[in-house]
Amino acid sequence: MTFWLLLTVNSVTFGGLLFLLSAGFSLIFGLMRIPNLTHGSMFMVGAYLGSTFLGGALGFTLDFWAAAIISALEVAVLGALMERLLLRRLAGQQLAQVLVTLGVSFMVADLCLMGWGGDPISVSTPAGLGGFVRVGLAVFPLYRMAVIGIAVVFAIALWLMLERTRLGAMIRAGVDDPQMARVVGIRVSRLFTIVFGLGAGLAGFAGMIGAPILSVYPGLDQDMLPLALVVVILGGTGSLLGSFLGSIVVGFIYNFGQALLPELAYFVLFLPMVLVLVLRPQGLFGGRLL
Amino acid sequence: MTGRRIAIVVAIIGLVIVPYVITEVYYVNIASQILLYAIFALGLNVLVGYAGLVSLGHAGLFGVASYAVAYLLAAGFGHAVAIPAAIGIGLLATAVFAALALRASGISFIMITLALGEIIWGLAYRWISVTHGDNGINVTTRPAPFGLPLSSARGFYDATLIIFLLAVASSAIFVRSPLGAALCGTRDQPRRMNALGFHVWMIRFMAFMFSGLLTSISGILFVYYNEFISPQALALTASAEGLLMVISGGAGTLLGPVVGAALVVIVKNVVSGLRFTVLSPMGFADLVKFVLNGLFQHWNFLLGAIFVAIVVFMPEGLVPGSVRLARAAWRTANRSKSARPAAAAPPAPVAEQKR
C-alpha cells in the first residue's frame, strides 16, 4: 500500500514537472506549428545556470528561488533571441525550422558540456523543504509536495493569462487561425517571439525546479525532450488543459512503467504516443495537431 | 553524357585504389565508415529527398538490423543465417514503421517516426535480457565470403565498397524507374497524383521499404565494422546525424548523401583530432586558429553549427548548392567574355537535377 502511494505521489510530482516543461512546448507547437526540439536543451540550460547561481557565481550566492527565477529569465531571453535571429529567417518553412532547432540542440548540448563538464551536478533541495510529511505509514519528501504546488500555481496563472488578459486572447487567436489574427491587426510574428520566450523560460524554470530531483547532467535534454513530445501529442497542441492532463498521464505511465515493467519502460511510454498519432491525431483531449 | 560516364569510372577507380594510396589502417577504416554511413544516408535520402517524408527514426531501423545480426551471432548462428535473417527482420520492422507512419505526412510524420525510433532505442536500452542494455552485444567474428576474410581493414573496405556501389546503382535505378518518378510526383503534388490514379500510399510504402533495405544493410555493416552494438547507435542523435548527412549533402540527389556522409564522418573522426599551434601573442590568424581548435575539440557543436548554417544559407545542400554557385560564376564569367553580340548565348543550364 505504501509502495503504491509513494509511486502515485512520485507520478504526480513528475507530472507537475512535466507540465512546467511542456506547457510552453505546447503553446509554441500550437502557435508556430513546429515541435521546438531545443525545449529539452532549455530545460537543461535552466538547470545548469540555476545550479551555478546556487553555487555562487560572480562573487555572490543566490538562494534557490532567486536562482530559479533568474535562470528562467535568462533562458527566456535565449529562446526569444533564437526565435528572432534564426527561426524568423525561415518563416513559413516548418521543416527548415524543425531542423534548425535540432541543430541548435546539438550546439547547446556541447556548449553545456564545455561549460560545466561531464560530471553530474547535484542540487540540494531549497532551505526549509528538505523535510518529510508523514501520512499514515507513508513518508513523503516535502519538496515533492512543493513541486506539485508550484505546478498547480503555474497552471492557474497560465490559465488566467490565456483566458483573462489581452495577450492571452491574442495568443488564442493566433493558435486558432494565424491568418485571420493577422487580418484583424494582431502582430502574430511578435506573438511568436513572446510565446517562444515564455515557453523557453518555463522550461528553464522547470529545469531548476527539477534539479533537486533529477540532478543536472549531460544528456538531460535528450531525456526530457521526448517526454515533452509525448505529453503534447497526448494532450493536443496549443491547449493548456491538454498539456496538464497529458503531463499527469505521462507522469503516471513513466513512473509506473519504470517500477513495474523496467525492461519495457520506454516501450510503454512511447507506444501511447504512436497510437494517438496514428489513431487520433488531434490529441486525446480535444485540441488539434496541425 | 559521356563526360558523366568518364566521371563515374574515375570515381569508382578512385574508390578502389583508396586503400592502396592511404595505407594507414586508421584512414582505411575511416573510409569504410564513410561508405557504410553513405549507404545509410542513401536509404534515408529515398524518403527525405524523393518522397519528401522526413524521418527522425531511421537510427531505430538501423538498430533493428544491427541488433538482430548481433543477437543471432551471439546465439551461435552462422553468418549465412544471421545476415539474411537480420535483413528480413529489418524489413519487417520497416513495414511496421511504414504502416504506422504513412498515415501522416509533414510534421506528423516526423513525430511518428521519432516516437518509433525512441521505442526501439528504449527497447535496446532497457530490454536487458535480450540486448544487454548499455553493455551492448559483442560480435567476435567477421564473415569470409568466398574465402575472402573481412577481418583486415582492407578486406572490410573492399566488401563495403562493393555493397556501396550496389547501393548507389540500385538507388539510381530506383530513382530513374517509373516508380521513382511517381514517388517524386507524390512528393510535389500528392493530390494530383491521387487524382491521376496513382496509389500514393503504396508508392510511398514501396519507397519506405527500399529505404529500410538500405538502412538494414548499413546496420549490419556497422555491427561487423565495430564488432559491437550498443543503444547509443540508435539514439535520436544518430537519426539526426543521418538526417544531417542527407540534408547537408543535398536531399534528392544521389551524390549529396555520399558527400554528406563523408562530411559528417570526417568532422567526427578526423577534424576532432586536429590541432593548430597558436603563438602566444595572438595575431588575427592565431585568434582564428584558437577558435578553430576549440571548435575541433567539440565536433558535436561543429555538426550542429554546420547543420544550422546549411539549413539557413544553403537549404538545397552542399552538392546542388555548389553546383548552383559554380554555374552562376561560370555564367557571369562567360557573359563578360562574350560582350560582342555575335558570341553564342551561354548554353541553357542543364535541367536541374532536383525535381
- Interval B209-225: pLDDT, tens: 999 999 999 999 999 99
- For residue A152, the one-letter residue type is V
Tell me if B234 sits within 8 A of B63, measured CB to CB. yes
Q: Is the pLDDT of residue B27 over 60?
A: yes
Q: Is the pLDDT of residue B341 over 70?
A: no
Q: Is the pLDDT of residue B255 over 60?
A: yes
Residue A286: the pLDDT is: 52
Cell of B291: 577558435
User: Which residues, in sequence order, are CB contacts of B217 under 8 Å at separation 6+?
Assistant: B39, B43, B65, B87, B163, B167
Find where cell 536543451 sits: A41
Residue B351: the pLDDT is: 43
Quickly state the pLDDT bin for B353 (edges 50, 70, 90).
Answer: very low
Q: Is the pLDDT of residue A283 over 70?
A: no
Residue B311: the pLDDT is: 86
Quickly state the pLDDT bin for A73 (edges 50, 70, 90).
Answer: very high
Cell of B252: 534528392
How does pLDDT run across B312-326, given as a tens digit for each residue? 888 888 888 888 888
Residue A28: the pLDDT is: 87
A206–chain B nearest CA distance, Å:
22
Between these two residues, B338 and A205, which has the higher pLDDT value? A205
Q: How many whole angstroms separate alpha carbon A259 and alpha carbon A30?
A: 33
Q: Please report the residues numbered 189 through 218 in chain B whose beta carbons come closer than 8 angstroms to any beta carbon of chain A.
A: none
B348 three-class SS: coil
Q: Please report the residues numbered 265 through 284 in chain A whose beta carbons come closer than 8 angstroms to any beta carbon of chain B.
A: 265-267, 269-271, 273-274, 277-278, 281
Find where cell 560564376 sits: B329
Q: Is the pLDDT of residue B350 over 50?
A: no
How many percent of chain A have pLDDT more than 70?
A: 94
Residue B16: the pLDDT is: 84
A249–chain B nearest CA distance, Å:
17
B58–chain A nearest CA distance, Å:
15
Q: How many whole angstroms separate alpha carbon A17 and alpha carbon B152?
A: 52
Question: For chain A, what is the mean pLDDT?
Answer: 85
Mean local confidence (pLDDT), B17-32: 85
How many percent of chain A have pLDDT more than 90?
A: 20
A132 three-class SS: strand
Quickly state the pLDDT bin for B349 (edges 50, 70, 90).
Answer: very low
How does pLDDT run across A84-97, given as a tens digit for each residue? 988 888 877 878 88
Q: Which of B246, B56, B307 is nearest to A108 (CA)?
A: B307
B252-266 in b/e form (b: 16+ CB < 10 A) is bbbbbbbbbbbbbbe
Residues of B in contact with A264 (CB under 8 A): 122-123, 126-127
Task: State CA A185 to chain mean position distance.
Answer: 30
**In chain B, where the domains are located:** 16-258
Please answer yes or no on whether A290 and B311 come within 8 Å at the CB atom.
no
DSSP string, A36-50: -TTHHHHHHHHHHHH
Find where cell 527482420 sits: B89
Say which of B121, B127, B304 has its CB closest to residue A110: B304
Please answer yes or no on whether A110 and B300 come within 8 Å at the CB atom.
yes
Q: How many whole angstroms separate alpha carbon B346 and alpha carbon B52?
A: 33
Q: What is the largest CA-CA distance in chain B?
A: 78
How many percent of chain B have pLDDT more than 70?
A: 91
Quickly state the pLDDT bin for B337 (edges 50, 70, 90).
Answer: low
Q: Does domain B16-258 have CATH number 3.30.420?
A: no
Q: How many whole angstroms separate alpha carbon A96 and alpha carbon B310?
A: 10
Q: How many whole angstroms separate alpha carbon B91 and alpha carbon B85?
A: 10
Angle between helices B79-101 and B58-74 in degrees, nearest 10: 150
Q: Is the pLDDT of residue B271 over 80?
A: no
Residue A289: the pLDDT is: 40
A120–chain B nearest CA distance, Å:
18
Tell me if B331 sits within 8 A of B261, measured CB to CB. no
Q: Does A127 touch chain B (CB under 8 A)?
A: no
Mean local confidence (pLDDT), A43-57: 86
How does pLDDT run across B53-78, given as a tens digit for each residue? 999 899 999 999 999 999 999 888 88
Q: Which of B313, B262, B98 is nearest to A100 (CA)?
A: B313
How does pLDDT run across B70-113, given as a tens digit for each residue? 999 988 888 889 999 999 999 999 999 999 888 888 888 888 89
How does pLDDT run across A136-182, given as a tens digit for each residue? 677 778 888 888 899 999 999 988 988 889 888 888 888 888 888 88
Strand partners, A121: A216
Helix ranges (DSSP H) in A92-138: 94-116
Please answer yes or no on whether B115 and A270 come within 8 Å at the CB atom.
yes
